[in-house]
Amino acid sequence: MNKTRLRWACRRGMLELDLILLPFFENQFNQLSEAEQQAFAALLAEPDQDIYAQILGFQACSDIKFSNILTSIRKHCHVDNT
């Protein structure tokens, strides 16, 4: 996994996502398991609106493989979607 490309992929068309994904990547990515890192990379291929809605809990998780990484992102950015 090329971390430079992943970091660049965290820069989205939505400022709101930049403010969530970049800090998560910079502060948490290295502590993730390999499976979580792969899920994060796959999540970045999803449309911005879907990622944002799933992080905030407005939309159900589109793929079960994203469930754990979305939970980690929510905890890191202090989003309580309950």
Predicted TM-score (pTM) of this structure: 0.89
- CA gap 4, 61 in Å, rounded: 26
Q: What share of the chain has pLDDT > 90, as a percent?
A: 79
Secondary structure E strands in the chain: none
Say if residues 12 and 18 touch (Cβ distance below 8 Å). Answer: yes
Q: Which domains does the chain have, with CATH numbers?
A: 3-76 (1.10.150.250)
Q: What is the pLDDT of residues 32-65, one digit of tens each?
A: 999 999 999 999 999 999 999 999 989 988 788 9
